[in-house]
Amino acid sequence: MSDKCILWFRKDFRLDDNPALLEASKHTEIIPIFIFDRNLEEYNSIGEASYWWLENSLISLNKDLNNKLSILEGNSLEIIINLIKEEKAKYIYWNRCYEPDRIDADTLIKKEIRKLNVITKSFNSSLLWEPWNIKNKSGNFYKVFTPFFKKGCLESVEPRKPLNKPKNLFFLKPHKRNYNYQFKYQHKKHKWYLKFVKIWNISETAARAKFDNFLNNGARDYSEGRNFPYKNSVSKISAYLHWGQISPFRLWYEAKRKMLGKHLEIFLSELGWREFSYHLLYHYPNINKQNLKRQFDKLDWNVDEQLLSKWKHGKTGFPIVDAGMRELWETGYMHNRLRMITASFLVKNLLIHWKEGEKWFWNCLLDADLANNSASWQWVAGTGSDAAPFFRIFNPITQAQKFDKDALYIRKYIPEIAKLPNKLIFTPWLADRKDLEDANITLGIDYPHPIIDYPESRKRALDAFKKISN
């Protein structure tokens, strides 16, 4: 009898702590595959930054698999059934994904494969707790983060321990080469994301090294330092975690081994927010398409493509907002404090629907994640579950003065105003002619005038909110 098994990689591009791989290692021959399936929303509408990361992830994974990874494109069910028949495989394993359409697709695939008398098993490799297992005392799902994490998660079953990479693995490629995927971005020039190559090393090894560096350095100041974008106090591990170059179980236990006190507590809670986002996605499958608080459907959102474009490209005239948007464009990453500031500015000061910001982040973020992206935007907009109230509006001036008091972050991403003194750099429109001349700045040419009057924009947002609150 054939002892071939198919190992289907999805968002688990690693050999360490990979339960599907561990199960596959019990067989003498493993056929590793990846399928780019445009029937799935994530691949059909994949952002450009994510596309770049995905393709480079596949290249790296293929090397780790001794160049035996079959990278395929097409309908997952059709490809898998054909592969089973051609290779006479009797087993197929994969690690679960939790997006609504993936759950539906996986359910159908399992049903059809079992008709072929093939053993199929799926495993959890990307969430510390399965979203359907976390329930409150009434047996319902949680809608507020703190009880979800402290009661639902921390008082439930402890996350499993990480699994080591299995030994003596033998991979092989299928005999037929059908459905081969054609790489899209590897050979094109003059794309803005090509600069990522100088910033990001996309590999399982790099993920472990980056997190180890964080634990040995940034973690010492994490509880406070994580709020300051110019400090190296955050892990920047989010893209690796999303695509599976490192597992949350490894992060959880390595953090518990090396971090202490409040630093550890807050870091684990950040992993908890990721779990909460997937918890919400599982119970609110349309979280990326509609307001969870439906009264916001009545809010009079502003439709202004010109303002939206200036926000996207860091030309609002508010330095901290522009610095955040330029960091996103140049690096595919944005510090979390800046994600909140820039999102609040779009939704509340420009009064533009959060969905417009969610779409831009989806295209530009290397860590773009359906659950996290949607839940976070709804949190800032005040439209989601356990969200910040709509009347909590991040002031871009005071936020900059508090979290970038020496303007190190602003000067890095907006060099054209770098010569302004600290007392003026947060509000360049208040500088007099001599200060601007000394800094070699002409407002409206070298750096834009503010696109809004901040106090007026705040009042307009609060008035719009009052109309739907009555």
Active-site residue among 112, 254, 270, 330? 270
Is 270 catalytic? The answer is: yes
Residue with tokens 């208040």: 430
Q: Is 316 exposed, middle or buried (0-12, 13-18, 19+ CB in 10 A)?
A: buried
**pLDDT in the model for residue 277:** 97
Q: Is 450 exposed, middle or buried (0-12, 13-18, 19+ CB in 10 A)?
A: middle
CA proximity to 276, closest of 362, 378, 355: 378
> Where would I find the H helices in 75-228?
76-87, 100-114, 145-147, 204-216, 222-225
Is the per-residue pLDDT at 182 higher than 70? yes
Mean per-residue pLDDT over the chain, rounded = 94
Pairing of strands 70-73, 29-36: parallel
What number of residues does the chain have? 470
Active-site residue among 94, 252, 354, 360? 354
Radius of gyration of the chain (CA): 24
In the three-class reduction of DSSP (H, G, I as helix; E, B as strand; rest coil), residue 135 is classed as coil
DSSP 68-105: --EEEES-HHHHHHHHHHHHT--EEEEE---SHHHHHH
How far apart CA 146 and CA 239 sit, in angstroms, is 25
How far apart CA 371 and CA 384 sit, in angstroms, is 12
How far apart CA 157 and CA 160 sit, in angstroms, is 8
How far apart CA 282 and CA 218 sit, in angstroms, is 33
Active-site residue among 75, 302, 336, 363? 336
**pLDDT in the model for residue 192:** 67
Percent of the chain residues topping a pLDDT of 90: 90
Active-site residue among 273, 330, 363, 429? 273
Is 75 catalytic? The answer is: no
CA proximity to 236, closest of 215, 221, 256, 257: 215
pLDDT tens readout for residues 23-43: 999 999 999 999 999 999 999
In the three-class reduction of DSSP (H, G, I as helix; E, B as strand; rest coil), residue 31 is classed as strand
pLDDT tens readout for residues 38-81: 999 999 999 999 999 999 999 999 999 999 999 999 999 999 99
- Half-sphere exposure for 223 (CA within 13 Å, toward CB): 8
Percent of the chain residues topping a pLDDT of 70: 98
**pLDDT in the model for residue 151:** 93
Is 354 catalytic? The answer is: yes
CA proximity to 345, closest of 373, 323, 316: 316
Is 301 catalytic? The answer is: yes
Active-site residue among 8, 53, 377, 379? 377
> Mind listing the domains of the chain with CATH numbers?
4-125 (3.40.50.620), 127-163+202-285 (1.25.40.80), 294-469 (1.10.579.10)
Question: What would the 3-class secondary structure string for 312-338 be?
Answer: HCCCCCCHHHHHHHHHHHHHCCCCHHH
In the three-class reduction of DSSP (H, G, I as helix; E, B as strand; rest coil), residue 364 is classed as helix
CA torsion 142-143-147-151 (nearest 10°) is 10
Q: Over range 299-317, report the average pLDDT.
A: 96
- Residue 195 pLDDT grade (very low, low, confident, very high; cuts 50, 70, 90): confident
**Sign of the CA dihedral running 289, 295, 297, 302:** negative
- By the 8 A CB rule, do 361 and 368 touch? yes
Active-site residue among 112, 301, 416, 429? 301
**pLDDT in the model for residue 175:** 81
> Where would I find the H helices in 226-353?
238-243, 248-258, 261-283, 305-312, 319-331, 336-344
**pLDDT in the model for residue 391:** 85
Query: How big is the CA angle at 344 (ends 342 and 346), to the nearest 5 degrees?
Result: 70
**pLDDT in the model for residue 2:** 65
- By the 8 A CB rule, do 93 and 20 touch? yes
